[in-house]
Amino acid sequence: MLDQPSHTPFTGPLLQVRDLTLHYRTRQGDVRAVDGVTFSLGRGQVLGLVGESGCGKTSLGMGLLKLLPSNARLVRGEIIFDGQDLAPLNDAQMRRYRWRRIAMIFQAAMNALDPVYRVGEQILEAMEAHAWPGIEDGPAGQKRRQAREKVKELFRLVGLDPELMDRYPHELSGGMRQRAVIAMSLACRPDLVIADEPTTALDVIVQERILRELKSIQKELGLSLLYITHDVAVVAEVADQVGVMYAGQLVELGDTPQVFHQPMHPYTAGLLASFPSIRGEKRPLAALPGEPPSLVAPPSGCRFHPRCPRATKECRQEVPPVVGQGNAWAACWHPLGAAQP
């Protein structure tokens, strides 16, 4: 996959990921969770990363912050954030980037809050670890008081009663906790927020409301957002650009409307077809046949070929070429919209 386009049309992209490859060592062998992923994300942009569970999208998100379990290994690749490659940095050096520059909204946010501390305390703790960003210098007590005001402001921004900052996580409802976690991610004024399935555990109405608020906050603060989800409908709503992941690889990337209306990769088409349209158009629901492949011994050639209706001999044997250019491409032998072989 080295020949994927590495240049981008954005001027001075905030994040450039090149050929990122992550392996987990297990008893069964190396799990190639992320394999040669390349993309870039501009300032103030939203990139939606979509794929089935187990396709490596969460590993990719955690890998960007280098928050991986001890059996994980960054095999190769570059994570260029604001001109600095994060890949070779050690833990102490990474710490300056974590939360201060790149924050995260976790999957299952209910568990991202420590049950024994007050919610506000957990936010202040992050600010303290980064020398109170955005707070005027002064005596410790005064900085803390100012920071508390800041947290209250953030709570109002995400639609929470500021009084809730002195509650414990178990006293908050699921939606409230999710909002608190979003507020926490904004506390150090990061440039990039990685949101990993931030609304999956919530009911649909709350999910919808939080999603809209997240989008408006992103616009207001000019954040870059990497939105990781399995839910195509959510991506359609928030993302400027969409990346589609399959079996550890990025198989298609493009502007959201384009990918949704004219998908090039058969997998993208299958994924879109397996979700009901959010606009309520009547479409037959077609599920993708088969199972996602094992990442220990992925299929040869194009990894999607065992499930692909258009698969041919070359799909089984050869790594597919990149079709398209710039910020709209797919890795496929027989992209949709081209003639059938």
Give me the residues that bind other proteins (CB under 8 A), please: 62, 65, 67, 70, 91, 94-100, 103-104, 106-108, 111-116, 125-126, 129-130, 140-141, 168, 170-171, 184
Nearest approach, Cβ of residue 233 and other proteins (Å): 25
Of 39 and 97, CB closest to other proteins: 97
CB of 103 to other proteins, least distance (A): 8
Indicate the length of the chain as a whole number. 341
Nearer to other proteins, 20 or 102 (CB): 102
Task: Give the CA diameter of the chain.
Answer: 72
Nearest CB to other proteins, comparing residues 123 and 302? 123
Q: Which residue has the tokens 């410790």?
A: 140
CB 20 within 8 A of CB 79: yes
* CA 262/CA 302 separation, integer angstroms: 21
Residue among 71 and 262 whose Cβ is closer to other proteins: 71
Nearer to other proteins, 11 or 70 (CB): 70
83 or 115: CB nearest other proteins: 115
Q: Which of 41, 83, 8, 65 lies closest to 224 in space, CA to CA? A: 41
| DSSP 3-state percent helix, strand, coil across the chain (nearest 5) | 35, 25, 45
Least separation in angstroms between CB 242 and other proteins: 25
- Least CB distance to other proteins at residue 126 (A): 4
Residue 126 or 233 with smaller CB distance to other proteins = 126
Joined tokens for residue 340: 């059938």
DSSP states of 128-179: HHTT-TTS----HHHHHHHHHHHHHHHHHHTT--GGGGGS-GGGS-HHHHHH
Residue 141: CB minimum distance to other proteins, A? 7
Minimum distance from CB of 69 to other proteins (Å)?
9
Q: How far is the CB of 18 from other proteins (least distance, A)?
A: 23
**CA-based Rg of the chain, rounded to a whole angstrom?**
21
6, two tokens: 């590495």
Helix axes 140-157 and 174-186, enclosed angle (nearest 10): 130
